[in-house]
Structure 1
Amino acid sequence: MQNNIIKELKNRIELSEKPLIITHYNPDGDAIGSILAFYHYLVKKGKNPFMVSPNDYPEFLHWMPGNENVTVYKRNTGTVTNAIRDADLIIALDFNNFERTEGLEKYLNESKAVKVMIDHHPDPSDFADIAISDIQYSSTAEMVYHVIESLGDEDLIDKNIAECIYCGIMTDTGSFNYNSSNPYTYLVVSKLVGFGIDKDRIYWNVYDNFSADRMRLLGYCLHKKMEVFPEYHAAIISITKDELKEFNFAPGDSEGFVNLPLSIKNIRFTAIFIERDKQIKISFRSKGNFSVNKFAEENFNGGGHKNASGGYSYVSLDETLKKFRELLPKYQTELQNAL
C-alpha cells in the first residue's frame, strides 16, 4: 500500500468527528466482517462510527461482536440518510461502485464527506478520494488487517477485531478452498489465531447454524433442480419463487449451494439461479483458468473474481436458463482447457 495514501487516510481518520462505515447490498461474511472489524478499530481510536448495511443479512452472521450496532437502511431509511448527510468521512468496504448499495447511491454521491474505498474487486469506479483497491487480496477483511497494520495500529487489534477479520477471510475463500493461494493470507490468519480466536467456533457459527428448512431445500435442489452438462463440464441449480416460499426461505439459506456441483467429477463451472420479484439473482463458481468474472460481465450484468462471481438477469427464469444453456457451446473449448 502506498505510503502517501496511508498517510492521508491516517490524517482523515484523526480529523473525523462523524465517520460512517458502509458496505454493499446483500452483504456476505466478508462485507459484515470488514465493517465490524473497522468499526471496532475506530472505536479504539476514540471515534463513534455509524455502520450501515443497505439491507438485512443472514442470521448466521449476527454472532459477530458489534452486530447490534449495524443499522439496516431498509428498516431505518431516515436515520441512515441523515447519517450519510451528516458524515464527514465515509468508508466504503467490500464494494467499488455506489450502485452496489442499491438505493443509497444518490445520498452517497451528494455527500460532502471525504470518501474512502477499501476493496478487492476489479474495475473500481472513481468515487473515492482515498482508494485502496487491490485484487491480489483474498478478501476485503484481509485488506482491513493490512490497512490497520500499515496505519501503525496493529497493537489495537484485539480478539473482537480478529474474529471479524477471520470470518471475512474464511467466508470469502470458501474456507480457504479458492482465491487463497497468497502466502500473506496465511500469515494474517496465523496472527489472528494468535489473538485467541476460536476458529472452529467461527466455522460452526457460520456453516453449522442453518435451519431444518434450509437443509430440506438443499436436498430438494440437489435431487430435483440440478442439471449437469458433462460435455461442457458444467452444472447448474435453479430455484423459483414458489420453491423459496415452500421451504420458508430466509436470507442466506442458499449460501454455498453453488459450490456443491463442483464436487462432481470433471465439473469445472457451476451456477445457481434464484428467482426474485424483479430479477434473477445468479452466482457463478469455477475451477482453474475459466473466468466466471468475464462470463458474468459479458452475459449477465455482473462481475466479481475469476473463480467466484455474480450477476443478474431481468427476464424470466425460463428465459434466463435458456440463455445460459445456449451460451455453453461458445465456452466449450475454454471449459475443456480450464484445468
Structure 2
Amino acid sequence: MDSIINLQKKIVPELTNLLVQRYQILRQVSHEYPIGRRALAARLGLSERVLRAQVDFLKNGGLLAFSSAGMSVTEEGADILKELADYVRKLQDLNSLEQFLCERLDIGRVVIIPGDSDQEEVVKREIGRAAARILGNLLNDGKEHIVAVSGGTTMAALAANVSGNEPKTVVVPARGGLGDNVELQANTIATVLAQRLGASYRQLYVPDSVSEEILNSILAEDIGVKSVVDIIKQADILVHGVGQASVMARHRRLPPEFIKKLLDDGAVGEAFGQYCALDGRQIYMTNNAGLMLQDLPKIGTVIGVAGGRSKAAAILSVIRASRQDILITDEAAAHDIVRMLEND
C-alpha cells in the first residue's frame, strides 16, 4: 500500500487532496447529523458551491443520505469512513510523524489525529474517541484500577465517547474545581466517565488555588477530603489535558500583573496547576489537593490528551516537565512540535 500511496502523491497529488476533503466531509457529517449544506460548508471552511459538488458525489455513491432535516452518513458510508481513516493517515504520513515524536520525546506511544482542533471541533471529538479507545483497552484486563482525570473540553470529549462495564474501576478527579463552567470541571468529567464505564467514583470538594494555609487546614480537619486525596495519589492510570499558560492563568483569575510576570518568565503550558516553560522548567505552581507533576512517575500509565496548533508549545513544555507514556494529539500540533524540536 505504501508504494501505491507514494506513486499517487507523485503522479496525481490533486487526488490526495480530493480524497482527504471527501473524508473530512464524511467525518463531519458522522458527528453532526443531520446537518444542512450551509452549516456543513461553514464547519469545513468550504464554499457552498464546492461543497455541493462533493456531497452530490457522495450521495450518488450511496455514502450520504439526504432528508428534510439534513444530511447523514449511510451504513455503507460509515464502513468506508472507518477504512478511510487509516488510509488518510498513510497519505499524510502520520505514522512516520508518530514514530519521530516517540523517539525525540521519549514517549512510548504517540497517536495523531488528522486535522487541527483549533479549526475543526470534530477533530477534538476524534481525539476524545481515540483516548476513549486507549483507556478502554487499558481497563479491559479484569483488574482493579483507579483512573484519575483532569478537566477541560478534550477530557469532556473523552468521557462522551467511553462505554464499558468496569465495576472494579474507581474514577477520581485529578484535582479540585476550576472556574465557573461546571460541565468541564474534573469532578463532573470523573462522574460522567464513571457512569459510562459502569464504575464507581469519588469527588474532591476542594476549590482550586486556595491558600496553602486553608488547604492544609482542610486536609487536616476533613477526613472525607483526605480519604479522596489518598485515593487520587494511588491512581494507576491518569488521563489529563494540557492548557496554555495565559488561558489557564486567566481562568484561575490570577491578577493581570502576575499573569504578565508569569508569561515574561517564559511560561507557555499548564497541567495540574503547574506552569511550565518550553524547556520544561517549572515557573509557578498553584496550591493543589490532587495530583502534581512530581506525582506522575508513581502512576502506571500517564496519557496526555491535547490538540490544536495553538497548544503545540504548551504540549511540548508539559512533556519536557513530566513523564508521559502516551500522547494523543492532532496533526497541526504535531507538526508545530516537530518544528520546535528541529529549531532546538
Place the TM-score, normalised by the shorter chain, in its bin: under 0.3
Q: How does the TM-score come out when normalised to structure 2? A: 0.27
Structure with the largest fraction of helix: 2
Q: How does the TM-score come out when normalised to structure 1? A: 0.28
